[in-house]
Amino acid sequence: MTDKPFSDRQKAFVREYLLSGNASDAYRKAGYSAKDANVAGPRLLANVRIQEAIAKKQAKRFDKLDIQADELIARYYEIATADASNLTQLHVGACRHCYGRDFKYQWRTEREWMEEVSQSADRKKPAPDCDGGFGYRRTAAANVDCPECEGLGIPYTVFADTRLLSDQDRALFRGVKQTQFGIEYKMADQSHALDQLAEAIHLFKKRDEGQASLLAEAWAQITARGSKAPIRRDKPAGDKP
Ligand SMILES: [Zn+2]
């Protein structure tokens, strides 16, 4: 057979065959006579140049799929192995009584106390005193002698400045939401990413045994960190008088 270019019908046949995988069907849809499609279709498919054209297009398609799969695996891997504590951390600080005078309730500022006094007037409640003094900082370390929290302090959440996140941490970060409980950090579901990664690796395992080690690595990283559940709320517990 000479190397003259394919006719429009031959090109259409290749295209249709790639879509349906059915030679007779492709033959008809390419505009050839429908009458002997069941014989002529498979015969055209057996043609060497048609075979080559189909193989070439299929290879291109698989290459594209490979790239997509690799990107997907890389992305799931990034999410599954990202460290949630780079986004939020749980810290423990002083309770209101840790450094109050005689371990009484300590206000942040005089202004905070005054506001509470005026609010209690509105609510017809007795005004709070300021015997514990001022200067409370929740970031101060808990006082081991504090009878109120027994030195355990009060947990609070710290959020990362999202402008400073690494690319991997950014893959985990899905935005913030202001709720009635405070700021809520939304994160990609790491266990879902790991499931997807496992599935993708299972699918590609036969083709490339090397990928399987990624999963083992991901598991090791995640289990080494212990709990992977992100802490989401920033409202400190027991912070109101
Ligand atoms: Zn305390």
In this structure, are 78 and 176 located in the same domain?
yes
Confidence at residue 225, expressed as pLDDT on a 0 to 100 scale? 55
**Can you give the pLDDT at residue 236?**
46
CA of 93 to the centre of ligand 1 (A): 9
pLDDT at 214: 60
Distance (angstroms) between ligand 1 centre and the Cα of 106 equals 10
pLDDT for 227: 42
In a domain, 53, yes or no: no
142 alpha carbon – ligand 1 mean position (Å): 6
For the question of whether the overall pTM of this predicted structure is more than 0.85, the answer is: no
Residue 111 Cα to ligand 1 middle (Å): 22
Left if phi > 0, otherwise alpha if psi is -120 to 50, otherwise beta: which for 224?
Answer: alpha
Mean pLDDT by 10 residues, the chain (241 residues): 80 90 93 90 94 86 72 85 90 96 97 94 89 96 96 92 90 88 86 83 60 58 50 45 47
Please count the structural domains in the chain.
Answer: 3
Domain assignment present for 56: no
Q: Which amino acid appears at position 29 of this protein?
A: K
| Nearest-angstrom CA–CA distance, 135 and 132 | 10
> In angstroms, what is the span from residue 146 Cα to ligand 1's centroid?
5
Q: How far is the CA of 100 from the centre of ligand 1 (A)?
A: 9
The pLDDT value given to residue 41: 94
The reply to whether 24 and 141 lie within a common domain is no
The DSSP annotation for 91-115 comes to EEE--TTTTSGGG---BS-HHHHHH
Q: How far is the CA of 129 from the centre of ligand 1 (A)?
A: 18
123 alpha carbon to ligand 1 midpoint, in Å?
Answer: 28
Q: What's residue 71's pLDDT?
A: 79
Cα of 97 from ligand 1 centre, angstroms: 5
Give domain status of residue 209, yes or no. Answer: yes
Q: Which domain holds residue 118?
A: 95-153
Report CA(239)–ligand 1 centroid distance (Å): 11
Among residues 125, 153, 181, which one ends one of the domains?
153
